Chains A and B, each alone.
Chain A
Amino acid sequence: MDRIPILKLGQALLVTIQVDMHDQLATALEEDLAARVVSSGARGVLIDISGLEIVDSFIGRMLDNIAAVSRLLDADTVVVGMRPAVAITLVELGLSLAGVRTALNVERGMALLSLSMADWGVGDDEDGD
């Protein structure tokens, strides 16, 4: 069965979703992530959904669940790179993902995680001037 790779970057886990999610894939990702957070002792989870073009309520719920599970395991979740159409769809579905932090791209997401993790040295001035 296909699985979405989970990369470890320092104290954070990076998940990049490049394919259209189906429900089974989403459930598998939820389980894998929970296991990896525990086994790697990660303090942050970064989910890049810039490749995701289609969402439904199930995927929205999945993002919420991942955030809730990670919080229980003492890791912050940041969702980055959401497309405008996806954002509108989620809002129309009534899923505003209140428990999830968001950022425009991976770089800013890392910067956001570093705010809550003092020993994490990524993310300086974001607009570089």
Chain B
Amino acid sequence: MSDSGTRSIADFLAAHEEELRDSWLESMKRSGALESGRVREAELQTQCTAFLRELRSGLQTGGTDIGNFSGVTELLSDLSRSRAIQGFSPRETALFVFSLKQPLLDAVGGQAALSADGALRPVWMLLDELGLYTFEVFQKSREEVIVRQQEEISELSTPVIKLWKGILALPLIGTLDSQRTQVVMENLLEAIVDQGASIAIIDITGVPTVDTLTAQHLLKTVAAARLMGADCIISGIRPQIAQTMVHLGVELSVVSKATLADALALALSRLGRAVVRVSQPAAGAGS
């Protein structure tokens, strides 16, 4: 492989840019790139033109090391990142680079001088490399999306609600792992300071299973709240869960109530308050 070889490919690309781009587009269309309707032909054409131009300027510097093609890799990472977010399939994304191979082979095949001295071989490997790169960025972007969603879910599912002056409720929904316990604990303690709360009700109606680890996490949260000067009440332990906990020998040495309503009543009475009926309900309303 020689620099002059790659340069002559670059010259070839410069001379036949439009022709090559059209047959490339054609080959992508044949493979169904436009069928999903996520990308328009004009947009695809712009991307192809930009890619060919960057590829050519990379080839002109000589060598086919992927490090020389920062323009191309930049373009590809933008492209595959946006495609990952738009929901393209992995196949569609990888196809962008790989579908260039056939048209390039066809076009160069007509030129005896180019195909003879094996100048195409390094370019071929470069295209494979670029295809893999595209796929890697695609995968990474998808993972970023997943991580972001996980964070959002954990934020969403741990609200701290003010039930009354000095009484907070923490309805837990979903499994309690150590990472979530950390978030829950921080949120709860911040809320206790902000609102000067003295009682926190942890409602575990939405927690599907309570094993020894979950219980330990709950106890940690209770202990931290106590250190801040707030008492905790646990509510919403479902009958099956209560049985499982007893079978497992899990002990929550914390005040617990069957429902959030009971816990609220207890919290209010600790603050010296009670809910009373002010008048008889209107006739017929209660039946």
Q: Which residues of A lie under 8 Å from residue B190 when comparing CB positions?
A: 84
A116 to chain B, nearest CB (A): 16
Q: Verify B166–A87 contact, CB threshold 8 A.
A: no
Contact of A82 among B196, B197, B227, B272 (CB under 8 A): B227
- Complex CA gap A24/B225 in Å reads 29
Asked if A96 meets B226 with Cβ closer than 8 Å, knowing A108-B198, A129-B165, the reply is yes
A34 at the B interface (CB under 8 A)? no
Contact of A91 among B192, B196, B197, B227 (CB under 8 A): B227
Q: Which residues of A lie under 8 Å from residue B196 when comparing CB positions?
A: 104-105, 127
Q: Verify B193–A104 contact, CB threshold 8 A.
A: yes
Q: Verify A104–B229 contact, CB threshold 8 A.
A: yes
Question: How many residues in A have their beta carbons less than 8 Å from beta carbons of B?
Answer: 23
B185 at the A interface (CB under 8 A)? yes
Q: Verify A102–B165 contact, CB threshold 8 A.
A: no
Inter-chain CB contacts under 8 Å: number = 62
Q: Which residues of B lie under 8 Å from residue A90 when comparing CB positions?
A: 224, 227
Q: Verify A127–B165 contact, CB threshold 8 A.
A: yes
A97 at the B interface (CB under 8 A)? yes
Q: Which residues of A lie under 8 Å from residue B198 when comparing CB positions?
A: 104, 108, 126
B223 at the A interface (CB under 8 A)? yes
Q: Which residues of A lie under 8 Å from residue B166 when comparing CB positions?
A: 126-127
B230 at the A interface (CB under 8 A)? yes
A103 at the B interface (CB under 8 A)? yes
- Complex CA gap A97/B220 in Å reads 12
Q: Which residues of B lie under 8 Å from residue A84 when comparing CB positions?
A: 186, 189-190, 192-193, 224, 228
- Complex CA gap A91/B178 in Å reads 13
A83 to chain B, nearest CB (A): 8
Q: Give A residues with C-beta under 8 Å from B.
A: 79-80, 82-84, 86-88, 90-92, 96-97, 102-105, 108-109, 125-127, 129
Supply 11 further A-B pairs (C-beta < 8 A) apart from A83-B193, A84-B190, A103-B229. Answer: A84-B186, A84-B193, A87-B224, A87-B227, A88-B189, A91-B185, A91-B223, A96-B227, A97-B227, A104-B197, A109-B229
Q: Give B residues with C-beta under 8 Å from A.
A: 165-166, 182, 185-186, 189-190, 192-193, 196-198, 220, 223-230, 271-272
Q: Which 4 A-B pairs have the closest CB atoms?
A: A84-B189, A103-B229, A96-B223, A104-B229
